[in-house]
Amino acid sequence: MKESEYLAHYYPQDFICIADAFYPLPKGGQLSIEDKEVSTTFTTADGSKRKDIIRRYKAVSIKYNLLTQEGYESLSHIIEQIESAFYDEGKYLYLKKERMPPIAPPDAVRLLFDRITIDTVQPKKMSYRMRKNGCFLYEGLALKFN
């Protein structure tokens, strides 16, 4: 989906942007964001220890307590797109801020959201139950982005 379609139908919903394609996330997810770092500790020549921080990043976990089959299929499609994207393509998770304008300016949509870079997606964890009409309701679906 292009940016104009996102603005017309899904704004201000959280979304994932891969290159120039927009993928809105289903509503109802609980977000948790952790600040993490990759570091190494080594001993110097005088015997003291030193910790070097190699990289700092944010780890995002999204948990859906209940999700319909349509929402599950859209999340599966998003994960496939992230995994199949080339390494040098920009993969970002955009989370809406606390206060959002009711109508987005058409030239600065990405500036209104908090941007988190996605490097990897851990496998999704879930359980499901069947409904009467043959559709599934997914419970406890958890996604982790690093």
pLDDT in tens for each of the 146 residues of the chain? 887 787 777 777 888 888 888 888 888 888 888 888 888 888 878 888 888 888 888 888 888 888 888 888 888 888 888 888 888 788 888 888 777 777 777 667 777 788 888 887 877 777 766 666 667 777 777 778 77
**Residue-level pLDDT at 129:** 67
- Distance, CA of 145 to CA of 59 (rounded, Å): 6
Q: Is residue 44 part of a domain?
A: no
Domain membership of residue 114 as a residue range: 3-34+54-145
- pLDDT tens digit string along 113-125? 888 888 878 777 7
105 within domain boundaries: yes
Q: Identify whether 102 is part of a domain.
A: yes
Assess if residue 114 is contained within a domain: yes
Domains contained in the chain, number? 1
The angle formed by the CA atoms of residues 87, 90 and 96, to the nearest 5 degrees, is 140
3-state secondary structure of 111: helix
Q: Is residue 96 part of a domain?
A: yes
Residue 122 lies in a domain: yes
Is position 125 within any domain? yes
Q: Which pair of tokens denotes residue 91? A: 């993969």
Q: What is the pLDDT of residue 101?
A: 76
